[in-house]
Amino acid sequence: MFFGGSFTQKGGGPGGWWTIVNQELRATLPQLNIQLFNAGRAGDLMPDLQQRINNVRGNMPGLVVMLVGDSDTSGDAGKPGVPIGQFEAGLRVLVDRTAYRDANILLCTPPFPAGKYDDTPGFNERFEAYCDVIRQVAAETGCQLLDLRRAFIARERKGAAAEKHPAPLTEDGSNLNDAGQMFVAEQMLKALGVR
């Protein structure tokens, strides 16, 4: 099960990263009869996710992929952002409630805040602090970590070092384009041991 907010929900559309992962897993491992569920919901911040975690637990998944934090920094759907201490406490609750059901957990850092991964003064430092919380919680709880944030930055730096400008990964700074959807799908498939 893939659990999160709008980034996860949007990935379930045609050509979306979640859709690509679902198709690849079914094609590569048909004998396992894998059933993926996209439990992403646009506008959800950490308090909303804490309220919904029981739905995840009720499905008794063997793996829960949590991609959270992209909107908690600044807010979404008219809701204010979530303070970092509240975000960390909430993430620990999500992990504890999911681990209680013996599910494996893959925690993911979001690739960019509200569609940006440039060096906007102040905002990216704050966003990076939220990503650090996810990294820390993964390390302390033994969850697997997929650091999409660092993967996106590494891709940009590699292109800059080669004096090439890699194709942008977003359409408008907020939504992944086809190249971005594929990039996230490839990172997910690597983390799941398929590529």
Cβ neighbours around 190 below 10 Å, total: 12
Lowest mean pLDDT: which of 84-93, 97-106, 160-169?
160-169
DSSP string, 91-122: HHHHHHHHHTTT-EEEEEE-SSSTT--S--TT
75: number of Cβ within 10 Å:
14
Report the pLDDT averaged over residues 114-119.
48
CB 148 within 8 A of CB 109: yes
pLDDT at 92 over 50: yes
- Report d(CA 127, CA 114) in Å as an integer: 10
What pLDDT does residue 175 have?
A: 77
- Interval 135-192: pLDDT, tens: 999 999 999 999 999 998 888 777 655 556 667 787 776 678 899 999 999 999 999 9
User: Among 69-78, 127-136, 178-187, where is mean pLDDT lowest?
Assistant: 69-78
- Cα–Cα distance measured from residue 10 to residue 19, given in angstroms and rounded to the nearest whole number: 10
pLDDT of residue 99: 81
- Token pair of 53 as six digits: 């975690």
Question: Angle at the Cα of 63 (from 33 to 30), degrees rounded to 5?
Answer: 15
pLDDT given for residue 62 in this prediction:
85
As beta bridge partners, residue 79 has 76
- In the chain, the domains with their CATH numbers are 2-191 (3.40.50.1110)
Look at residue 171 in the predicted model and tell me its pLDDT: 76
CA 115 to chain centre: 13
Across the chain, mean pLDDT equals 85
d(CA 120, CA 149): 15
> Is residue 125 pLDDT above 70, yes or no?
yes
Enumerate the H helices of the chain as residue ranges: 6-10, 17-28, 46-59, 84-99, 123-141, 148-161, 178-191
Tokens of 25: 């897993």
Task: Name residues whose C-beta falls within 8 Å of residue 32's C-beta, 6 or more positions apart in sequence.
Answer: none
Name the token pair of 95.
């992990």
